[in-house]
């Protein structure tokens, strides 16, 4: 995580100087036009472009992208992988909308604390709420908001995370 934009011209320079070392990028800009520009400019040469969130997964796959690398893959891997595998099928748009609905619940709150709170809620293990500084645990009000939102989208932990 550079906290500095990786521009198209920088990618071009890196690819020219290190053609066997630079293979792709995760674009966490949150700006589809940036991801799309990377795809148009470099994907035809075999450069892999991963969206930084599943909210762009379908668009990324349709444009020749390699997939996504997303934080919520830690708590919702099955549906994300399903869309990755089935992006060409008729129900792909519905799958994307379902992913967006769940992601929006987590995005309303500090993401890492929210995911940990969701695991704590679903497993009954409060030790999952613990975060390390500088992160802060969700407040009781935030936890309530999270649980209501997740209930509304019928969120379930994958079996592998059922750590009861």
Q: Indicate if 86 and 112 belong to the same structural domain.
A: no
- For residue 73, what pLDDT is reported? 96
Here the tokens at position 106 are 């987590």
Q: 28 is in which domain, residue-wise? A: 1-91
Q: Note whether residue 159 is domain-resident.
A: no
Q: How many CA atoms lie within 13 A of 98 on its CB side?
A: 15
- For residue 102, what pLDDT is reported? 98
Q: Indicate if 68 and 13 belong to the same structural domain.
A: yes
3-state secondary structure of 26: strand
What angle do the packed helices 92-107 and 140-152 form, to 10 degrees?
170
Q: Note whether residue 160 is domain-resident.
A: no
CA distance 161 to 164: 9
Here the tokens at position 127 are 């030790």
Q: What is the mean pLDDT of each run of 10 residues along the chain (164 residues)?
A: 84 95 95 97 96 98 98 96 98 98 98 97 96 97 98 90 54
Q: Indicate if 76 and 112 belong to the same structural domain.
A: no
Q: Note whether residue 112 is domain-resident.
A: yes
- For residue 5, what pLDDT is reported? 83
Domain C-terminal end among 38, 58, 91: 91
Number of C-beta neighbours around residue 111 at 10 A: 15
- For residue 11, what pLDDT is reported? 97
What angle do the packed helices 111-123 and 92-107 form, to 10 degrees?
100
- For residue 131, what pLDDT is reported? 97
pLDDT tens string 136-146: 999 999 999 99
- For residue 160, what pLDDT is reported? 59
Question: 80, 68 in Cβ contact below 8 A?
Answer: yes
Q: Is the dihedral of CA 34, 35, 40, 46 positive or negative?
A: positive
Per the structure, the count of domains in the chain is 2
- For residue 163, what pLDDT is reported? 54
């Amino acid at each position: 995580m550079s906290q500095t934009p990786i521009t198209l011209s920088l990618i071009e320079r890196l690819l020219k100087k290190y053609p066997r070392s630079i293979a792709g990028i995760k674009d966490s800009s949150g700006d589809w036009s940036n991801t799309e520009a990377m795809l148009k400019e470099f994907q035809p040469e075999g450069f892999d472009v991963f969206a930084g969130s599943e909210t762009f997964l379908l668009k990324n796959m349709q444009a020749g992208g390699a997939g996504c690398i997303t934080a919520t893959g830690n708590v919702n891997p099955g549906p994300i992988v399903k869309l990755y595998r089935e992006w060409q099928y008729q129900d792909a748009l519905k799958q994307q909308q379902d992913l967006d609905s769940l992601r929006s619940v987590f995005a309303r709150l500090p993401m890492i604390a929210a995911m940990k709170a969701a695991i704590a809620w679903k497993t009954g293990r409060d030790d999952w709420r613990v975060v390390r500084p500088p992160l802060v645990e969700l407040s009781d009000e935030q936890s309530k908001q999270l649980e209501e939102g997740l209930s509304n989208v019928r969120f379930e932990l994958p079996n592998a995370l059922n750590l009861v």
